[in-house]
Chain A
Amino acid sequence: DAGVTQSPTHLIKTRGQHVTLRCSPISGHKSVSWYQQVLGQGPQFIFQYYEKEERGRGNFPDRFSARQFPNYSSELNVNALLLGDSALYLCASSYTNPREGGYGYTFGSGTRLTVV
Chain B
Amino acid sequence: DQQVKQNSPSLSVQEGRISILNCDYTNSMFDYFLWYKKYPAEGPTFLISISSIKDKNEDGRFTVFLNKSAKHLSLHIVPSQPGDSAVYFCAASVGKAAGNKLTFGGGTRVLVKP
Contacts and interface: CB of A to CB of B under 8 A. Distances in A.
Interface of A: 4, 31-33, 35, 40-45, 48, 50, 55-56, 58, 90, 92, 94-97, 99-110
Given A56-B100, A107-B44, 13 more contacts: A41-B106, A42-B91, A42-B104, A45-B101, A56-B101, A90-B43, A95-B98, A99-B59, A100-B51, A101-B96, A103-B99, A107-B43, A109-B42
Contacts, number: 81
A75 B46 CA distance: 23
Contacts of B50: 100
The 8 closest A-B pairs by CB, nearest first: A42-B104, A31-B99, A107-B43, A102-B96, A94-B98, A103-B98, A94-B99, A104-B46
Q: Which of B4, B32, B100, B106 gathers most chain A CB within 10 Å?
A: B100
Nearest to A106: B46
Contacts of B45: 107
A59 B32 CA distance: 21
B89 interface: yes
A48 B41 CA distance: 23
Q: Which of A31, A44, A107 gathers most chain B CB within 10 Å?
A: A107
B19 interface: no
Contacts of A58: 101
Contacts of A101: 51, 96
Contact of A43 (B6, B44, B46, B98): B44
B102 A105 contact: yes
A100 B64 CA distance: 13
